[in-house]
Amino acid sequence: MRIVEVGPRDGLQNEPGTVSTALKIAFIEELAGAGLPAVEAGAFVSPKWVPQMADTAEVMAALRRRAGTAYPVLVPNMAGFEAALAARVEEIAIFGAASESFSRKNINCSIAESLARFVPVMQAAKARGIRVRGYVSCVLGCPYEGEVAPTAVAEIAGKLLDMGCYEISLGDTIGVGTPARAQAMIDEVSARVPIARLAVHFHDTYGQALANILACLERGIAGIDSSAAGLGGCPYAKGASGNVATEDVVYMLDGMAIATGVDLAAVARAGWRVCAALGRTPASKVSLALKAKLPADGGH
């Protein structure tokens, strides 16, 4: 099972508190040190849209990168790609949506326009040997349009695959999905995109993320996105919530004897440190349970 840690990007982009560049770097390095094979490190997006990601170039410049760990960054257009190139990134993620309204709100263009913007990005990435992951948002619901048809998800996921993405991550952006709907969506998408090329990205707004992940594992999904301490969500925005917590995912998989290569206690410690800086409590029951019994410094 391959876990993509998205806390430093998806988690921190939604936190009302600010984390210094130095702390972000330490967080990413700790997560990579915990054995996570991929740690999403930031986003080259407009700082007016997402101010929390404005220091991504500084983060990438100072980060001590481990051999064998991927540090993808989000790139919405060629301006973002040029910035990613300058930062010597080896992997990027492009992000589209299965809902027109969300596409407009998130990246200020239609789904068709977003795909057109991705074409030169994909070409430039291929020419430079940069790997590209693709995201589809709103796979189980849209905050503006409500239910989203699985066929719409399959269509955009298929297009991202055809463009050359090595993996497509299916995002339940607002965490409204339940297991049977998640399986139905995976069934539709995997008729178009091989299941081995799919990952799932659940936000835990309604507390369904772990159940949904298990349902998707039953379908053969082998890629999971998660966020240390369940970071993300805005306490001032009613109902908003972060990604499923990495600690919760790893604890469940450990219990099922499914190998991840991830050190649960090390992820928990990384989460505690960043939560202390943000002045918040981890949104992970596993993290809280471990906090009650593990020494914060690992006993060193």
Residue 217, burial from CB neighbour count under 10 angstroms (0-12, 13-18, 19+): middle
What's the min distance (Å) between Cβ of 64 and ligand HMG?
25
Taking alpha carbons only, the member of 202, 158, 208 closest to residue 178 is 208
Report the residue number, 231 or 290, with the smaller CB distance to Mg ion: 231
Residue choice 50, 168, 245, 274 for contact with ligand HMG (CB under 6 A): 50
Q: Pick the closest to residue 42 from 34, 50, 33 (CA basis).
A: 50
216 classed as catalytic: no
d(CA 6, CA 274): 14
User: What is the size of the binding site for ligand HMG (CB under 6 A)?
Assistant: 23
Backbone dihedral region for residue 130 (phi beyond 0: left; psi -120 to 50: alpha; all else: beta): beta
Q: Which two tokens stand for residue 188?
A: 């539709």
Q: Residue 135: name its binding partner from ligand HMG, Mg ion, none (Cβ under 5 to 8 Å by kind).
A: ligand HMG
Q: Which stretch binds ligand HMG (CB under 6 A): 38-46, 157-165, 192-200, 282-290?
A: 38-46
| CB-based burial, 168-186: b 16+ in 10 Å, e otherwise | bbbbbbbbbbebebbbebb
Q: Residue 170: which H helix or E strand, with range?
A: strand 167-172
Question: Of 33, 71, 72, which is closest to residue 270 (Cα–Cα)?
Answer: 33
Q: Check residue 76 for interaction with ligand HMG (CB under 6 A).
A: yes
Q: Which does 208 bind (CB under 5 to 8 A by kind): Mg ion, ligand HMG, none?
A: none
Q: Are 178 and 211 in contact (CB under 8 A)?
A: yes
Nearest-approach distance from CB 99 to ligand HMG, in angstroms: 10
Binding test (CB under 6 A) with ligand HMG, winner from 8, 11, 72, 80: 80
Rule CB under 6 A: is residue 232 a binding residue for ligand HMG?
no
List the one residue out of 183, 289, 202, 286 whose CA is nearest residue 244: 202
Of ligand HMG, Mg ion, none, which one sits near residue 205, judging by CB under 5 to 8 A according to partner kind?
A: none
The listed partner (ligand HMG, Mg ion, none) that binds 69, CB under 5 to 8 Å by sort, is: none
Kindly tell me which residue out of 108, 112, 116, 296 binds ligand HMG, with binding defined by CB under 6 A: 108
Positions in 9-68 near Mg ion (CB under 5 A): 10
What's the rounded Cα separation, in Å, for the pair 60 and 237? Answer: 30
Site for ligand HMG in 109-168 (CB under 6 A): 135, 137
What's the rounded Cα separation, in Å, for the pair 197 and 166? 7
- For ligand HMG, the nearest residue by Cβ is 171
- Is residue 74 a contact point for ligand HMG (CB under 6 A)? yes
Q: Residue 137: name its binding partner from ligand HMG, Mg ion, none (Cβ under 5 to 8 Å by kind).
A: ligand HMG
Tell me 263's DSSP state: -
Phi, psi values for residue 220, rounded to 5°: 105, 10
* Contact residues for ligand HMG, defined by CB under 6 A: 10, 13, 43-46, 49-50, 74, 76-77, 79-80, 95, 106-108, 135, 137, 171, 173, 201, 203
Binding site for Mg ion (CB under 5 A): 10
Active site residues per annotation: 234
